[in-house]
Amino acid sequence: MYRKNSSLFIYCIFYFGFLYIPVLLLPIFSFNDSFHMVFPLKGFTFDWYIEMWNKARLHQALWNSIKVGIIASIISTFIALFAAKAFTRYKVKFSGLSYGAILLPFIIPEIIIAVAFIVIWTSMGLKLGLIPITISHVLYCTPFCLLILISRMEGFDKSLEEASMDLGENAFGTFWRITLPLLLPGIVASLLLSFVISFDEFILAFFLSSSDQTLPIYMWSQLRFPKKLPHVLALGAIIIVATSFIVMLSYWFRNIGQSKNNKNLEI
């Protein structure tokens, strides 16, 4: 039984309020019948959502973001999959160093990655656009994928792979028939999470984009015009709902079968 602790409870209310009330303002104002984000609310409307629906450039930006997100999440999950296998199953030389190197984008400020990337990319004479954005997103997403997959990999017993080898499967067959199916929830979680990260990413996309905008860049570009603010709020509201849903889904996938596996280990 938990004893009720009122001071802790108040702390929780403040904490969550501080985190989420500003975010909740977005959906509220997206239904407000006014160009200005001020209280009191004027009246209820769906106009901004309808306006949003009719913007061709928004559609283009959305499609760009989806393309970048899908490609970046697949590539970074792929890289992380093999890295996770190497880190957890083989004795790799300099494994500590290379592990650190992969996780480095976590701590390097994004703007520094962005500046470095744009310098290298343009000095090679290459064009800015969706391709460098995708590549930089791979760099940025891989550490997240790696952490998810390593924890999944450590969650299942190495002797399962050994048993498969013992029963006549070679390394590839073992990976295909045992490792991959057992990792699948982790792989799906990694794909979803890295997609969301790429989808929401602003700084790298801002530096590396040219005429092709991703959704966050599009939103930012619209903020300069007060009359365009409301439909960005509507878009923002939808993105909040959609990404929260995907992240929850990814956590659900990440844990699927995990408790079942643990039950197998206790005898």
Positions in the binding site for another protein (CB under 8 A) = 156-157, 159-160, 162-170, 177-178, 181-182, 257, 260-261, 263-265, 267
Nearer to another protein, 84 or 182 (CB): 182
Measured from the CB atom, is 127 or 263 closer to another protein?
Answer: 263
Minimum CB separation of residue 188 from another protein in Å reads 14
Output the smallest distance, CB 258 to another protein, in A.
11
Of the pair 134, 164, the CB lying nearest another protein is at: 164
Asked if 165 and 174 touch (Cβ cutoff 8 Å), the reply is yes
In the bound state with another protein, the residue whose beta carbon lies nearer, of 45 and 258, is 258
The total of other beta-carbon atoms located within 10 Å of residue 50's CB is: 11
Helix or strand run (H / E) with residue 90: none
Q: Which is nearer to another protein, 174 or 214 (CB)?
A: 174
| Distance separating alpha carbons of residues 75 and 164, to the nearest angstrom | 28
Least distance CB 178 / another protein (angstroms): 6
Taking the complex as a whole, the smallest distance from the CB of residue 171 to another protein amounts, in Å, to: 8
Name 9's Cβ contacts closer than 8 Å, sequence gap at least 6.
none
**Residue 168, phi-psi category: left (phi > 0), alpha (psi -120 to 50), beta (remainder):** left
In DSSP terms, which residues pair with 44 in a beta bridge? 32
DSSP 8-state code for residue 124: T
CA distances to 66, 121, 153, 168, 267 from 133, in Å: 12, 11, 29, 44, 49
Do 189 and 254 meet the contact criterion of CB atoms below 8 Å apart?
yes
For residue 256, the minimal CB distance to another protein (Å) is: 11
Tokens at residue 9, please?
């409870």
Q: Kindly tell me which of 122 and 262 has the beta carbon lying closer to another protein.
A: 262
User: Cβ 227 to another protein, closest distance in Å?
Assistant: 55
